[in-house]
């Protein structure tokens, strides 16, 4: 944590350069000028308020998206200083807003915890906004300055308000000269603010979007403890969450974890409030401490006998839900997408902090400890059984891609980039698809019907399932940690199910399988969902297909007379003949397919466990809510 008593004044702020550079090369500062970069602007400003909260001076942040596409961020912190800055001769506020690298807080004195652009955030946002203003409430006065494309439009205006309240309000309008489409996405923002609220214990974040008249307030008393509880909502858990928070020489380590009765691991790691998708040193430290503490306790409590071997890391992570959040002075984000924390010292810091805290917790909660270790032992036995089963299948030639599944009707084209694999519900529709397809590049794999729910089955069971094996072998790229996208035999995998509730269920089962066993297939944008039509409307020789009730009704209502009119409803793929299926659903020239994307891994994890886990109610809710959504954001 930064030292809360530390005072900053204008003198702490270093001046480097003007903002022309930012307008010339915006991507250097915000990554891109597409949707991502646009949302980055909001995060930069909110991050500054989060920092003020982390320093202990602010507990409320509000964000409003205006009908004009503007953003207002308000906090109840101390207010940005407005005293005169020695080097620029301007106010600290104006200096912070109009010069690059004018971030006082990023000097060695303290650190910016929420990541971002090292304190240059506000200036970058200013440079990329066609209009901006900041209002600071301090010392019973209101100070206000207006900017345009990074330049002050007038002096800092001060008026007395006599109020005790302090804080900062920032308003900006993203520059349409910079951004291709300056439209904010409600869900993207909402998810990020929720995450920020989880990661900053005790903060109230109010978010409202006046364009759609929706608003949310987030407050999580327990911080990441609440995060873990939320991830486990609707799952059967074994104990109350374990939680620890520790400051090791200026580095904050916060960890919450809780086991459930599933077989999956859901661990989310963060450094300075930024998701570290590819883990890093903090995650490595976490894992080794977890394995070590559980094994040590298991030996001491004689749950593991002398002759037993230790639980492996994997065994200790079955059914684990964990959130690891570290905050450090100079985070190094590594890897192609900067998704991995590189600071070497974090491994030891997290390892010893968690080791100590978890060992004490296990001593204090012997019943919980026993349940967790027994779960690990069961996992170990199952893994051993799975290994044997796997050796056996490998011996028999299963998962050897020279032996393709018998039901697969392959295509003739050799280049995987143009090859498509259609997973078709049921043998009858499979037959139609085989006849209707373009056999040069479209392969068909008919599925029996319902595939196994992998959310409720161990990997060995899943692999014994015929359809699942067929899908894995047909794709030829392995699964789980051994998945290798370079070996994919098809770069497009298209799920084709009936347009009814059963079809939706089968589709969800398949999505769950891909999400758990081949997430790279989704990340790599290889997975699609076919869109078969719901209606065929014929009037004389004119035949039209409709994909929704609404479109069909709109068309019918425009018709002047109904003579020779024939409206047919298609319930299943099997009701179409091969040429109809080709024409409406398979022909790349006219079909529409939905790309499956997972924009938010935290949400997706919960959605899949909601959908496919033990509890029935949430699943119903989801299927009903998402049944005919246009874009499948799982
Ligand atoms: C440095 C010093 C002080 C406040 C802030 C930064 C500050 C910045 C932002 C940005 C958004 N909201 C903010 N709130 C506070 C205060 C120094 C003092 O009062 O001693």
Q: What is the 3-state secondary structure (H, E, C) of 346-405?
A: HHHHHHHHHHHHHHHHHHHCHHHHHHHHHHHHHHHHHHHHHHHHHHHHHHHCCCCCCCCC
Alpha carbons 34 and 180: distance in angstroms, whole number: 6
376 and 240 co-located in one domain: yes
Domain count for the chain: 3
- Predicted local confidence at residue 473, as pLDDT: 92
DSSP SS3 for 566 = strand
- Predicted local confidence at residue 388, as pLDDT: 74
- Predicted local confidence at residue 625, as pLDDT: 39
Mean pLDDT along residues 188-205: 92
Mean pLDDT along residues 537-566: 88
200 and 263 co-located in one domain: no
Mean pLDDT along residues 23-46: 92
pLDDT bin (cut points 50, 70, 90) of residue 304 is: very high
- Predicted local confidence at residue 620, as pLDDT: 46
Cα of 307 vs centre of ligand 1, distance in Å, is 60
pLDDT bin (cut points 50, 70, 90) of residue 611 is: low
333 and 433 co-located in one domain: no
452 and 467 co-located in one domain: yes
The candidate with the shortest Cα–Cα distance to 337, out of 21, 106, 22, 36, is 36
In a domain, 551, yes or no: no
Cα of 8 vs centre of ligand 1, distance in Å, is 8
586 lines ligand 1 (CB under 6 A): no
Q: Cβ(280)–Cβ(286) under 8 Å?
A: no
Each residue of 380-390: pLDDT tens digit? 888 787 777 66
- Most confident of the ranges 55-69, 265-279, 617-631: 55-69
Cα of 118 vs centre of ligand 1, distance in Å, is 15
Q: Is the pLDDT of residue 524 over 90?
A: no
Could you tell me which residue, 284 or 383, shows the higher pLDDT?
284
In a domain, 554, yes or no: no
Alpha carbons 395 and 383: distance in angstroms, whole number: 18
In a domain, 169, yes or no: yes
Domain with 443 in it: what CATH number? Answer: 3.40.50.670
* Least confident piece of the model among 171-175, 451-455, 527-531: 451-455
86 and 229 co-located in one domain: no
Mean pLDDT along residues 127-137: 97
Helices marked H in 210-302: 224-231, 281-300
Nearest CA to ligand 1 atom 19: 78
Q: Whole domain around residue 236: which residue ranges? A: 224-387
Average pLDDT, the chain: 86
pLDDT bin (cut points 50, 70, 90) of residue 63 is: very high
In a domain, 8, yes or no: no
pLDDT bin (cut points 50, 70, 90) of residue 396 is: low
- Predicted local confidence at residue 476, as pLDDT: 92
Q: Is the pLDDT of residue 103 over 60?
A: no
Mean pLDDT along residues 454-480: 86
Mean pLDDT along residues 68-93: 93
212 and 173 co-located in one domain: yes
Q: Is the pLDDT of residue 346 over 90?
A: yes
In a domain, 208, yes or no: yes
Q: Is the pLDDT of residue 195 over 70?
A: yes
- Most confident of the ranges 306-310, 450-454, 487-491: 487-491
48 lines ligand 1 (CB under 6 A): yes
Cα of 9 vs centre of ligand 1, distance in Å, is 9
7 lines ligand 1 (CB under 6 A): yes
Residue of 2, 10, 50, 51 best suited for mutating to test ligand 1, as the one with most atoms within 8 Å of CB: 51
Nearest CA to ligand 1 atom 8: 80
User: Which of 387, 411, 441 corresponds to the end of one domain?
Assistant: 387
Domain with 243 in it: what CATH number? Answer: 3.30.230.10
- Predicted local confidence at residue 395, as pLDDT: 55
312 and 210 co-located in one domain: no
281 and 236 co-located in one domain: yes
- How many CA atoms within 13 Å lie on the side-chain side of 25? 3
Q: Is the pLDDT of residue 168 over 70?
A: yes
Mean pLDDT along residues 575-590: 92
User: Which of 353, 387, 421 corresponds to the end of one domain?
Assistant: 387
349 and 417 co-located in one domain: no
Nearest CA to ligand 1 atom 5: 80
206 and 234 co-located in one domain: no
In a domain, 473, yes or no: yes
80 lines ligand 1 (CB under 6 A): yes
- Predicted local confidence at residue 530, as pLDDT: 92
pLDDT bin (cut points 50, 70, 90) of residue 471 is: very high
- Predicted local confidence at residue 110, as pLDDT: 40
492 and 414 co-located in one domain: yes
Q: Is the pLDDT of residue 19 over 70?
A: yes
Atom of ligand 1 nearest to the CA of 168: 12
In a domain, 433, yes or no: yes
167 and 277 co-located in one domain: no
- Which residues carry out catalysis? 425, 498, 500, 502
Mean pLDDT along residues 14-38: 84
In a domain, 239, yes or no: yes
- Predicted local confidence at residue 505, as pLDDT: 86
Alpha carbons 454 and 461: distance in angstroms, whole number: 8
Could you tell me which residue, 422 or 336, shows the higher pLDDT?
422
Alpha carbons 241 and 228: distance in angstroms, whole number: 7
Mean pLDDT along residues 303-312: 93
Residue of 75, 77, 119 best suited for mutating to test ligand 1, as the one with most atoms within 8 Å of CB: 77
- Most confident of the ranges 283-297, 302-316, 440-454, 486-500: 283-297
pLDDT bin (cut points 50, 70, 90) of residue 65 is: very high
Q: Is the pLDDT of residue 528 over 60?
A: yes
Residues 6 or more apart in contact with residue 241 via CB below 8 angstroms = 225, 228, 229, 256, 257, 258
Domain with 163 in it: what CATH number? Answer: 3.30.565.10
**Degrees to nearest 5, angle at CA 607 with 601 and 613:** 125
Q: What are phi and psi of 197, to 5 degrees?
A: -65, -40
Cα of 113 vs centre of ligand 1, distance in Å, is 14
Could you tell me which residue, 127 or 402, shows the higher pLDDT?
127
DSSP SS3 for 167 = strand
Alpha carbons 364 and 367: distance in angstroms, whole number: 9
5 lines ligand 1 (CB under 6 A): no
Q: Is the pLDDT of residue 413 over 50?
A: yes
User: Which of 326, 361, 387 corresponds to the end of one domain?
Assistant: 387
Residues 6 or more apart in contact with residue 96 via CB below 8 angstroms = 13, 80, 102, 103, 104, 122, 123
78 lines ligand 1 (CB under 6 A): yes
């Amino acid at each position: 944590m930064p030292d809360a008593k530390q005072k900053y004044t204008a003198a702490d702020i270093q001046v480097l350069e003007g903002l022309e550079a930012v307008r010339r090369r915006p991507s250097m500062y915000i990554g891109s000028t597409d949707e991502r970069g646009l949302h980055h602007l909001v995060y930069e400003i909110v991050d500054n308020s989060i920092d003020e909260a982390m320093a202990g001076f602010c507990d409320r942040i509000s964000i409003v998206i205006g009908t004009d596409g503007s953003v207002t961020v308000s906090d109840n912190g101390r207010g940005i200083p407005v005293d005169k800055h020695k080097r620029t001769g301007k106010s600290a506020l104006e200096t912070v807003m109009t010069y690059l690298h004018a971030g006082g807080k990023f000097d060695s004195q303290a650190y910016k915890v929420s990541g971002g652009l090292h304190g240059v955030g506000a200036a970058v946002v200013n440079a990329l906004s066609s209009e901006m203003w900041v209002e600071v409430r301090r010392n019973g006065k209101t100070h206000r300055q207006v900017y345009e494309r990074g330049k002050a439009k007038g002096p800092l205006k001060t008026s007395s308000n006599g109020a005790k309240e302090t804080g900062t309000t920032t308003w900006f309008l993203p520059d349409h000269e910079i951004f291709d489409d300056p439209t904010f996405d409600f869900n993207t923002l909402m998810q990020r603010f929720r995450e920020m609220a989880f990661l900053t214990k005790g903060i109230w974040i109010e978010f409202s979007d006046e364009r759609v008249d929706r608003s949310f307030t987030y407050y999580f008393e327990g911080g990441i403890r609440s995060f873990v509880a939320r991830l486990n909502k609707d799952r059967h858990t074994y104990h109350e969450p374990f939680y620890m928070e520790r400051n090791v020489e200026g580095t904050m380590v916060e960890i919450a974890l809780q086991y459930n009765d599933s077989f999956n691991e859901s661990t989310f790691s963060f450094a300075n409030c930024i998701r570290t998708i590819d883990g890093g040193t903090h995650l490595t430290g976490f894992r080794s401490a977890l394995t070590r503490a559980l094994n040590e306790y298991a030996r001491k409590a004689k749950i593991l006998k002398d002759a037993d071997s230790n639980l492996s890391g994997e065994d200790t992570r079955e059914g684990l839900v964990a959130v690891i959040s570290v905050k450090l002075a100079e985070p190094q984000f590594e890897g192609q997408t900067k998704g991995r924390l590189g600071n070497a010292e974090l491994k030891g810091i997290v390892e010893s902090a968690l080791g100590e805290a978890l060992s004490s917790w296990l001593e204090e909660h012997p019943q919980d400890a026993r349940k967790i270790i027994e779960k690990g032992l069961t996992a170990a036995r199952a893994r051993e059984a799975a290994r044997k089963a796997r050796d056996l299948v490998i011996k028999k030639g299963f998962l050897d891609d020279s032996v393709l599944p018998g039901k697969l009707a392959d295509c003739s084209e050799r280049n995987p980039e143009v090859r498509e694999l259609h997973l078709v519900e049921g043998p009858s529709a499979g037959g139609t698809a085989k006849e209707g397809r373009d056999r040069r590049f479209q392969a068909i794999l008919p599925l029996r019907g319902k595939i196994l729910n992998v959310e409720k089955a161990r990997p060995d069971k899943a692999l014994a399932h015929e359809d699942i094996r067929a899908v894995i072998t047909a794709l030829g790229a392995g699964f789980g940690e051994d998945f290798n996208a370079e070996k994919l035999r098809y770069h497009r995998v298209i799920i084709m199910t009936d347009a009814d509730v059963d079809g939706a269920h089968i589709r969800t089962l398949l999505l769950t399988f891909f999400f758990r066993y081949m997430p790279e297939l989704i990340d790599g944008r290889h997975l699609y969902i076919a869109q078969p039509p719901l209606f065929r409307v014929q009037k004389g020789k004119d035949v039209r297909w409709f994909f929704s009730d609404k479109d069909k009704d709109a068309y019918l209502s425009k018709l002047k007379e109904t003579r020779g009119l024939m409206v047919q409803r298609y319930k299943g793929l099997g009701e179409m003949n091969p040429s109809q299926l080709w024409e409406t659903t398979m022909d790349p020239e006219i079909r529409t397919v939905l790309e499956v994307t997972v924009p938010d891994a935290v949400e997706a994890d919960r959605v899949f466990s909601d959908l496919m886990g033990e509890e029935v109610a949430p699943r119903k809710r989801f299927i009903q809510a998402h049944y005919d959504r246009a874009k499948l954001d799982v």
